[in-house]
Structure 1
């Protein structure tokens, strides 16, 4: 009888598996097809509308100008899979091609009857490279981070909350155009529609800025800092279209103008415009994307147990921020808006004016692992390469590179940020960090460990305000251990306002600011008439080069002694932290940051439960590495190959080696 049951179960399993189907899609098919290998569907959407658990969609080479929206869910054992056929290069694009250009004037070409309907999300691409909306002054170096902007006039009466002046502004009617402005504080940029241009006064008008943050006196012409009141450039007028790689769109006449690179005739190359916000919207469960390329639009996830692996997303979150009322925007190349147990692994996300990855507060237990995420937040708002605010998310072994302001932000309860490599942030902004968070003085239990953070140097206009690990306004409950922070402009660690109950163990800080820059800075002003204070934080076993340990104050009257970390007046538990005048660790690639033989950091650390467990020798070692232990590395452990575009190599940079040798 038992054998009969086993036989029936086998038959049932076979019958169940037979129901799973294989579909093929080929955009070159002249008919809609039936999904078979001999007569494939023409679009991915045809397959997405009928696929059920266990089905596989093989997509043949080509560019698919559509938005993938799966209709049904898969299951844990039978997910729905969308993947490339064999090693075909598949591109899913949010753009449409534009052809049939006519010469307008000089090297400028025009195309009539173009319907660009995404407003601030409109973009033009030439051979997959993003073009610049017509502007003054021109983007001379083709680098969005450098801004190539002008300083506003500082003479009294030439600036306000509703206008700025500069006598170099070209004499054209800027009304209806856009101003991009980054204030003297440089912590957040904004853009506004130009409401009027006064030719005689060289003055640009816009709707009066709100009094509240982020505007007010913080990010507006009313603030003087770093010797100026802000920088700006102007965009979005046909008369400003005077350089290669620029474009303009007349919304009334539906005419698109383009000055192609090198003055080329655009009819001989691929010109695309954004037509859709998304390239994929996953609102179901157990949907897998593998070996696909996405261009010009976002992947939005609102489901559970979905996986995106071995994919590339290029220009997924490129947009302006005209008339934005706040300092942040939720758009991202990949945004996980709700759901749980989603995975993004071994993907490349590259290029965007705003965020790389957003994991919202309603998205929990997700995993972001082994991804390359670079060149985001070129526009300079509170955007990041990754921002995770959901609970229990794990961000592991990713390589992050390039942001105008902050690098990464992880604030969700019980989350983990580990073995990541974060570098080259605060490129054009300021008052931020490679790792930057704020809080409510309520511990969140976020563990930040075994990461590399380095290379944060602000631009001249921004001042020296780039931090390594920045636990800003009321951040609480961060367990920060075994990280290496180096080559930073403005301190290795900042704790502001009522930052409490953070635990900082066994970190290595080196070359974090000029010689007189404190390793730790605390900004503790009065808030609503009450004095704030950084307190109840624990700091053990950290090492650094020689510099002041700690500085606290509010820049005016209130100042805590620089030795606030020790003595009866101390509010924090600060023990066994040591500074060295020479390098106590290796700078060789094969053993980077490992303690040198006979180093004074060996066996000198306090034992800390769950932090220094598994040490070698009589006691744990100071700093982030253990002599004789694993020479751990941070960042991705794979080579990016086989994508539609070759990713930039900047994420591989490890510049400590040369800088450290010069200090030895």
Structure 2
């Protein structure tokens, strides 16, 4: 579902500067370039030579002028690097480590003082510092929370689920933990889970509910959706923080700001006095805002960011930044501004690492700014609206040969950007915390010819995660020669209005659908002026589907797209149908080999280009292996049905599988899978009947709304699941909330995992529906349990007044080509149109 940014569009952030170490020099700066030296063993009274260095960066910043180079000796500097003046074109001011030495700029201060045992393995001390982020021996520790999450992985933490009764003002959950959480913070993904938000906790009642300190109801209603997509509701994930009551696990800590008491349980359970305990105290390690021609190389930065706000011609190169920004509580609207920021013009970050940020890892605005050969990962670990890399409102920005992965929401977000280039980037593991986003995403954006090209976009396995997502009211983008694979959403999604895009020579594999579109209610769907050509896609391309393309006169120019065999790296194989199957696209297909351009991102026999940074972060999880190997498979039949993981196969067209009593009443429906299970009447014996020639000339099993068929308990361990059901209901009859099919483990709620179900359309007021194919895939967490056809599995109610023709259940997620093949088989057999 498409969604605009919540609230008003944000203005370009111009953050307040952290208090630094610099006083503006009144002395005259020498014209001749100089070398200046800094060392923790130096003295600011020294002349700053190699033999007699300064002690602080602040002293060097005070004196450095155009053409100067400041050499920084090994050590950790707890200050903000802020030059007193700008360099000049051709004569920049440079900061870099002495050869072979490791320099760390820290936004943290040490916590010192006597530690004493508070209770068990929890220690405490008194401190005057105030903070929301704490490190032990250089690793970020989680603030005391519920549910518990061990330290280590910023992107994988446990979340509870809101219960019935949750709304704008209150979160209800019978599992709320004991203790007093009043005054703490709840981080929740409300409504459709597109974004997260925080509220302070009031009126906390363990095992019942808590009240938000302010409502989630917006003053201005969403004009695009019939209901509020941000209204908290049952099932929404959330986390509690900010109470000593939550400190019950190794690695956790809590600060009582009223008394200045810090509580800490180390991972080893020993005294914190045996460790280096630091807390965040500064937002910026380097502040180049409003400066020009300053270059910083080779520094490590921890617990703080770098500001190039309104800078010009500045460079950050070969720097490693970790834990650049942290926040756990923000007010209404957008979260706090990022701390890594580039605005102004003609600035560049080159070969830099950004690892760890609560919201965006880097925001690029201004004009002509660049990020090249860099790595960004484990960012937006709060699941905020922001992307891992945010190019909002930038003009002419270039992001080239970067690797961006493990992000809470979009990996690269570019709302309001103009004339940008996103090229040769490797983007994966997007949307790890939220729902419905894109690895590359914008909404309401006139790209003015912005280019998205030569990227790898893959393995984006969060809920409804699109590869390249140009959301509603976006136009004038050129999307070409990208390889998109293994995403849970569309490969490329162009939501209406989607005007004047050129989408050509992309390879899209291992997705549920290669293209997708959506239009808000009360708007006219249009893709006018958009051209979609030369794309190498899987067999799930359906030009006549309104879910993939706008139909009719307002639809796109759509031709020369189709399947073809590729190897594991996505290159067309010899003899592939993709070879020479395209058409010339001026400016983009020059130099093709053979009689015509190939379909897809690679030309057979041409350059095997690669994407992403040319170096790795050794501390990052490894990238998933490439395996795009694909060859269009022919139609399957009953004899060649996909067999691996097939657990249930009920087929009403196979008379040998149905035992029928008087009046056509079904007494047994035998399973054709290797398990050979049998579905028998669960209640109202005789109410479920076989009806001849009811669907495409074939028989069906029909329920009257009072009976069902049930298979006994099957697999109980949660795992993957794929379900296909062919069903129809010719009349609007029967009770509300009818189940077509359901699986129940006997515990919990039947509509929550590991249980599962397929509901009849218009559940509360059942409507008739023509023959259709329901397909359900769950990658993990589902159990077969007790399977009931034509009714609920947790009870004998909600029985279907309608027909079921065929059911297939697999205990795994089918490959995209297997899924497509089974769907084609069922649609062809039962006469179901796309």
Query: What TM-score range do you get, normalising by the shorter chain?
Result: 0.7 to 0.9
Return the offset for 1:579.
Answer: 2.1
| 1:220 aligned onto 2:215 | no
SS at match of 1:267: helix
| 1:611 aligned onto 2:595 | no
| 1:424 aligned onto 2:429 | yes
2:790 equivalent in structure 1: none
Higher alpha-carbon Rg: 2
Unpaired runs of 5+ in structure 2? 1-28, 633-814, 819-834
Contact kept, 8 Å, 1:188 with 1:327, in 2: the verdict is: no
Return the offset for 1:229.
Answer: 3.5
SS at match of 1:465: strand
Return the offset for 1:598.
Answer: 2.6
Question: Using CA pairs below 8 Å that are at least 6 residues apart, which structure has the higher relative contact order?
Answer: 1
Judged with a 3 Å threshold, the aligned counterparts in structure 2 of structure 1 residues 35 and 549 are, in CA distance, closer, same or farther, namely farther
Judged with a 3 Å threshold, the aligned counterparts in structure 2 of structure 1 residues 349 and 562 are, in CA distance, closer, same or farther, namely closer
Return the offset for 1:209.
Answer: 1.7
2:373 equivalent in structure 1: 370
SS at match of 2:155: helix
Contact kept, 8 Å, 2:560 with 2:582, in 1: the verdict is: yes
| 1:173 aligned onto 2:180 | yes
2:518 equivalent in structure 1: 523
Contact kept, 8 Å, 1:26 with 1:60, in 2: the verdict is: yes
| 1:437 aligned onto 2:445 | no
CA distance in 2, matches of 1:384, 1:425: 10
**CA distances 1:437-475 after superposition (whole Å, capped 9, x unpaired):** 1125x45211010000001112xxxxx411111110211
1:386 equivalent in structure 2: 389
Return the offset for 1:543.
Answer: 1.1
Return the offset for 1:562.
Answer: 6.4
Residue among 399, 409, 417 paired with 1:395: 399
Return the offset for 1:605.
Answer: 1.1
1:557 equivalent in structure 2: none
Contact kept, 8 Å, 2:187 with 2:197, in 1: the verdict is: yes
Where in structure 2 are the equivalents of 1:633-652 lying within 5 Å? 633-638=610-615, 646-650=618-622, 652=623
- When normalised by structure 1's length, the TM-score is 0.85
**CA distances 1:19-64 after superposition (whole Å, capped 9, x unpaired):** 1111110113366533111221111111111110010100000000
Contact kept, 8 Å, 1:330 with 1:358, in 2: the verdict is: no
Q: How many residues align?
A: 598
Contact kept, 8 Å, 2:140 with 2:151, in 1: the verdict is: no
Judged with a 3 Å threshold, the aligned counterparts in structure 2 of structure 1 residues 471 and 268 are, in CA distance, closer, same or farther, namely same
Residue among 122, 139, 144 paired with 1:134: 144
Residue among 534, 554, 557 paired with 1:541: 534
Residue among 262, 265, 279 paired with 1:259: 265
| 1:656 aligned onto 2:627 | yes
Where in structure 2 are the equivalents of 1:26-425 lying within 5 Å? 26-29=39-42, 32-100=45-113, 101-116=115-130, 122-140=132-150, 142-154=152-164, 158-199=165-206, 201-211=208-218, 212=220, 217-222=228-233, 228-283=234-289, 284-302=291-309, 303-320=311-328, 322-327=329-334, 329-332=336-339, 334-336=340-342, 338-360=343-365, 363-388=366-391, 389-410=393-414, 411-425=416-430
Contact kept, 8 Å, 2:566 with 2:629, in 1: the verdict is: no
Judged with a 3 Å threshold, the aligned counterparts in structure 2 of structure 1 residues 253 and 629 are, in CA distance, closer, same or farther, namely same
Where in structure 2 are the equivalents of 1:418-497 lying within 5 Å? 418-440=423-445, 442-458=446-462, 464-497=463-496
Judged with a 3 Å threshold, the aligned counterparts in structure 2 of structure 1 residues 274 and 550 are, in CA distance, closer, same or farther, namely farther
Return the offset for 1:326.
Answer: 2.1
Contact kept, 8 Å, 1:398 with 1:636, in 2: the verdict is: yes
**CA distances 1:336-388 after superposition (whole Å, capped 9, x unpaired):** 1x31110100111111111111012xx11011100011110111111222111
CA distance in 1, matches of 2:352, 2:549: 46
CA distance in 1, matches of 2:86, 2:44: 28
**CA distances 1:309-330 after superposition (whole Å, capped 9, x unpaired):** 000110002222x243224543
Contact kept, 8 Å, 2:411 with 2:440, in 1: the verdict is: yes
After TM superposition, the structure 1 stretch with the greater mean CA deviation from structure 2, 172-181 or 58-67, is: 172-181
CA distance in 2, matches of 1:639, 1:593: 22
Unpaired runs of 5+ in structure 1? 1-15, 223-227, 459-463, 553-559, 641-645
